[in-house]
Amino acid sequence: MNQTVLNRDDVLFRNQQLLAINKPAGVPVHGSKILEDQPRTLLTMVHELEGSPVHAIHRLDRPTSGVMLLTSSRLLLRKISQAFEKRQIKKCYLAVARGWTEPRGTISHALLPPKDDRKAHSVAREAVTRFEQIANVETPYAVPPYSTSRYTLLALYPETGRRHQLRRHMKHISHHLIGDTTYGRGEHNRLFRDEFDCHRLLLHAWALEFEDPEAGHLIRVQAPLDRAFGAIIKQFGWENALDSWAGSYRL
């Protein structure tokens, strides 16, 4: 059972009807009918923290951390959900991938729904992700057939919102995300568990930018990394590169 709890420091933004939370890794947003041992959900935790129920405006996979938008207003839920569908919400994720990627690029690869959500009539839908290299590293740990292992810290900018898009797109270009037990590479995941004590998917919703449908002004929300992700940044000597990138990036 997940014992994670939220506190006031996890609240990134609030106004009368909108709330942005730094979702912890491993916490599902909603409950699941297929899990016998039901973990506490983000919606339950926010209800306990705020004292009233809220609606999730968009999705974040259970193992992903970072910015999650919620609202107490069904009208605002509909308006911002429509903005997501129209690609009016700008998003940036931080991730660690196996190998050294190109400095930047665009992945345009249509995706079927994941197998657990696929119907007989399902068709592949357009999916586009931009990526930008922030830093890389070569470690002395062997991952056969190589005598060393290489990793890249990336900024990922999804231009569409397909389920598991970032994880599947990075697999498509053979730069699987570290800690991804569904689409990733087990030998690299084991290395991070055994050598770096990292037991989470290294994917974090870093920032969201959108126009407030009620007030009309721009809202930009940014979520700090958790201890586990931050420890990898420090261990690989990526602090300066990340700080430099964060000081100049634009959504």
Give the active site residues.
Answer: 61
The tokens for 4 are 């994670």
For residue 205, give Cα distances in angstroms to 37, 63, 124, 201: 26, 11, 25, 12
Q: Which residues of 18-41 are buried (b: 16+ CB within 10 A; e: fewer)?
A: bbbbbbbbebbbeeeeeeeeebbb
Separation of alpha carbons 45 and 117, rounded Å? 26
What whole-number distance in Å separates Cα of residue 160 and Cα of residue 85?
8
238 contacts: CB under 8 Å, gap ≥ 6: 134, 135, 137, 153, 232
135 touches 150 (CB < 8 A): no
User: Which residues, 6+ apart, have CB-to-CB distance to 67 below 8 Å?
Assistant: 12, 20, 21, 22, 23, 205, 206, 207, 208, 221, 222, 223
Cβ–Cβ < 8 Å for 133, 71: no
